[in-house]
Amino acid sequence: MGSTAPSPARIRLDALNRCGEHLAAGYMSRPDATPVIRFAAAVAEHLAHVDLPAYGAEALYPCGPSLYLSGAVAEFHYSAGITYNEAALQAKLAAADEETRAALLAVREALADYPRFGGYTHSIPNYRRIITEGLDSYSERIDRTLEIAQRRGEQDRVDFGHAMHTVLAAIRALHGRVLAYLASAPVQGPEQQQTLERLIEALAQVPFSPARSFYEGLVAINFILYVDGPDDLGRFDQDLWPLYRADIASGALAREQALEWVRQVWENIDVTGAWNVALGGLLQDGNSAINDLTHVCVEAGTGRRRPNLALRLHRGAPDSIWDRTLDSIAAGGGLPALYNEEAYIGAIREAHLGVAEVDLPDFAFGGCTELMIHGKSNCGSLEGDINLPQVLVQSLHEHLPAAESFEGFVAAYKGDLVAHIRRLTQEWNRNQEGKSRFQPQVLRSLLIDDCIDNGREYNAGGARYNWCVVNVMGLANVIDSLAAVKRVVFESGAATSEELLAALQADFVGHEALRRRLEACPRFGNAEPEADELARDISGFVFGELREHAPWRGGRYLPACLMFTTYAYFGKPVDATPDGRRAREPIADSAGAMQGRDTSGPTALLQSVACIKHHLAPGTLVVNARFAKTMLTSEDTRRKLRDLIETYFQLGGMQLQINVVDQAVLRDAMEHPEQHGDLVIRVGGYSEYWTRLDDDLRRSILERVEHE
């Protein structure tokens, strides 16, 4: 008789699962397969074994932290694919038996030197398709793609189709595990029992069949949010509006119940570290998309850290949404951020991104606020960074001594930027090509159009839209620095080129008089013509040059400026700059003025910011503003603030986010952070708890001018 003993390979996979390395076990189970097959097997094994979170009578499940945060040697990440953690491996080796040790060392051999590539990618699954069609329909689409690929002998597409079936089956298996767990979940009392029964009934329907009610739609979206990674929800209010409207009209749903459920979705987004939700805007016929569910979503987000609520405001937006929005902003936390609907639509069209008119209303945002089309995009976000002050420092030392005029120096700096951008885009394109070969994203390929129908993996260009968003950093520092060089070196002659460079090299030590003179020069953010003209020139040049380059996957490179909490980090490698900024200090936190320099009032600030070529940078130019609470305490001041925002949008501004926090509160939070655990601050592209910010970021926020 033949032996029934398990093979050594099977024993090793069992050992990996026993020590919590489910992703690695799946990956190692297909050693000779293509990357897309191996990654699909990895995700499937993980979803088959990952511990399910405890159920505590919540209306939605899963809940709690992400299903992928396990502290394992091999972990899944929605952008990086499979990551490898040597420290985790060393910790597990220390407690491993011989069999487990051999299995872990095999994982190291397979993954430690696995090719990895830079760039980041937020995305939005096509939640609308999931709740209207159900995932069962995806199987038919995969079969059609497989049949065509097999008939043509296209093995890559055949492998891709099999991988999609593997992932879809894995989601089904997880779904079955969830239902089995909930069937025996302990609850207390009839109310909790009713909540559980309603949840089980909904999960028996979704996400594999279409949602029949608002609640089922929420359950489906929440389930896929956890499967996905999680990341972004896109046009949440538009996806669910038909179900919400029908249930409200029939009396099956009360608004307060909907508000409670949406709050739980927002809580799950926060606790999992997910990101963005886009609200409002226009419909394809040009009518307003702002509805009662939009109001519910804004109300549910009041005072929260996450999700990033991106409210698309069009001309003539209802007074009611303005009132709800200003109420939310007044509560602190900086939500929602405000977006100029018409300007975005115009900028998308002008960028020639190939967006079909039927898809145009579905522009939304990933991560902090990177532009993409809901459910149909692989838009590198962020694909990379351009540190403008860092390039400026190099240009100063190379070109300033020989420059015969300010215009000549600016031309030399622009030449350096051209070369720098060319090198960066070539590097980013190599990264994209490498990801297509080694770093498949099997979940994104399943959930984002048109990967299944194209028979092409997400990172290989399978999504319908494939542009890339690039972070252009430190624009205000460059504007202020160039204004200072022009005034002090070329106009007044108060310092020679050599004297300025010596002061910069000394980090202004021993050159305080010159530093004060530099700081007295025109500053961006104060409606000063010299600085504003430089803003037009430099922003237009950099944005235009970047858009001349095409990503490997297709589309364009779209400029953005969304520094979230990284503006302190990206200041570390930058030496002293002619704006008076010392070496290693933070750079500007956004596309607005450098922190503390917009001293002429909010109107002047926004006039200056409107000089930037916003329409060339639909990746999103984040603009931070701080207003005193008195601006939101009366009808008169609220009307003035609204007028200011609307005027800024009429001037071409595309995004604005507002913090309303008393300066006294911030000073106390600086001294006693432990007493302000619930303080939420809008930092760059998103809101964050004060206690999670480092001291450099806290100081820079304290330096922001509070406008009245």
pLDDT tens column, 181-205: 999 999 999 999 999 999 999 999 9
Rounded CA separation 592/610 (Å):
9
Average pLDDT over residues 630-635: 87
Shortest CA distance to 282 belongs to which of 242, 311, 249?
A: 311
Using a pLDDT cut of 90, give the percent of the chain over it: 86
Do residues 425 and 513 touch, judged by C-beta distance below 8 A?
no
Residue environment code for 422-452, b if the CB has 16+ CB neighbours within 10 A, otherwise e: eebbeebbebbebbbeebbbbbbbbbbbebb
Burial class (CB in 10 A: 0-12, 13-18, 19+), 675: exposed
Rounded CA separation 548/554 (Å):
12
Going from the C-alpha of 696 to that of each of 438, 572, 692, the distances in angstroms are 38, 11, 12
- Indicate whether 682 belongs to any domain: no
Rounded CA separation 658/314 (Å):
18
Rounded CA separation 369/183 (Å):
39
Distance of CA 150 to the CA centre of its chain: 37
The last residue of one of the domains, among 319, 339, 373, is 373
Do residues 652 and 617 touch, judged by C-beta distance below 8 A?
no
For residue 685, the model assigns a pLDDT of 62
pLDDT per position as a tens digit, 54-111: 999 999 999 999 999 788 999 999 999 999 999 999 999 999 999 999 999 999 999 9
DSSP letter for 489, please: I
- Three-class SS string for 593-652? CCCCCCCCCHHHHHHHHCCCCHHHCCCEECCEEEECHHHHCCHHHHHHHHHHHHHHHHCC
- Indicate whether 492 belongs to any domain: yes
Rounded CA separation 528/525 (Å):
8
Tell me, yes or no, whether 161 and 293 share the same domain: yes
Rounded CA separation 151/53 (Å):
44
Parent domain of 258: 127-373
Strand order in the sheet with 380-387: 380-387, 468-473, 557-561, 620-621
Tell me, yes or no, whether 385 and 248 share the same domain: no
Tell me, yes or no, whether 468 and 596 share the same domain: yes
Tell me, yes or no, whether 50 and 156 share the same domain: no
Tell me, yes or no, whether 174 and 270 share the same domain: yes
Tell me, yes or no, whether 484 and 367 share the same domain: no
Tell me, yes or no, whether 212 and 97 share the same domain: no
pLDDT per position as a tens digit, 134-192: 999 999 999 999 999 999 999 999 999 999 999 999 999 999 999 999 999 999 999 99
- Indicate whether 3 belongs to any domain: no
**C-alpha angle 47-55-127 in degrees, rounded to nearest 5:** 55
Residue 153 CB coordination number (10 Å): 8
Do residues 312 and 281 touch, judged by C-beta distance below 8 A?
yes
Shortest CA distance to 373 belongs to which of 253, 269, 467, 265?
A: 467
Question: With bands split at pLDDT 50, 70 and 90, how would you rate the model's confidence at 626?
Answer: confident
Tell me, yes or no, whether 532 and 568 share the same domain: yes
For residue 1, the model assigns a pLDDT of 42
Q: How many Cα atoms sit within 13 Å of 483 on the Cβ side?
A: 27
Tell me, yes or no, whether 369 and 385 share the same domain: no
**Cα pseudo-dihedral 143, 145, 151, 152, rounded to 10:** -160
Residue 486, phi then psi, degrees to nearest 5 = -60, -50
Tell me, yes or no, whether 85 and 143 share the same domain: no
The last residue of one of the domains, among 606, 622, 638, is 622
Using a pLDDT cut of 70, give the percent of the chain over it: 93
For residue 478, the model assigns a pLDDT of 98
Give the DSSP H/E element, type plus range, for residue 39: helix 35-49
Rounded CA separation 276/365 (Å):
6
Q: What is the three-class DSSP state of 473?
A: strand
Residue 215, C-beta contacts closer than 8 angstroms, at least 6 positions apart: 59, 198, 202, 247, 253, 261
Residue 561, C-beta contacts closer than 8 angstroms, at least 6 positions apart: 471, 472, 473, 475, 590, 591, 617, 620, 621, 622
Q: Are strands 680-682 and 687-689 parallel, antiparallel or unpaired?
A: antiparallel
pLDDT for 422 beyond 70: yes
Average pLDDT over residues 369-386: 96
Q: Which residue has the higher pLDDT, 283 or 664?
A: 283
Tell me, yes or no, whether 422 and 565 share the same domain: yes
User: How many domains would you assign to the chain?
Assistant: 3
- Indicate whether 699 belongs to any domain: no
Beta pairing partners, 279: 311
- Three-class SS string for 276-327? EEEEECECCCCCECCCHHHHHHHHHHCCCCCCEEEEEECCCCCHHHHHHHHH
For residue 427, the model assigns a pLDDT of 97
Do residues 332 and 309 touch, judged by C-beta distance below 8 A?
no
Give the DSSP H/E element, type plus range, for residue 655: strand 655-659
- Indicate whether 309 belongs to any domain: yes
Tell me, yes or no, whether 366 and 386 share the same domain: no
Question: With bands split at pLDDT 50, 70 and 90, how would you rate the model's confidence at 665?
Answer: low
- Indicate whether 610 belongs to any domain: yes
- Indicate whether 668 belongs to any domain: no
- The sign of the torsion formed by the CA atoms of 706, 629, 564, 385 equals negative
Enter the tokens of residue 663.
Answer: 């300066």
For residue 12, the model assigns a pLDDT of 84
Enter the tokens of residue 705.
Answer: 């001018």
pLDDT for 208 beyond 80: yes
The model carries a pTM of 0.93
- Indicate whether 31 belongs to any domain: yes
The last residue of one of the domains, among 559, 593, 622, is 622
Question: With bands split at pLDDT 50, 70 and 90, how would you rate the model's confidence at 2?
Answer: very low
DSSP letter for 580, please: S
Q: Over the chain, what is the mean pLDDT?
A: 93
Going from the C-alpha of 552 to that of each of 427, 435, 464, 518, the distances in angstroms are 10, 11, 14, 42
Burial class (CB in 10 A: 0-12, 13-18, 19+), 137: middle
Rounded CA separation 174/584 (Å):
48
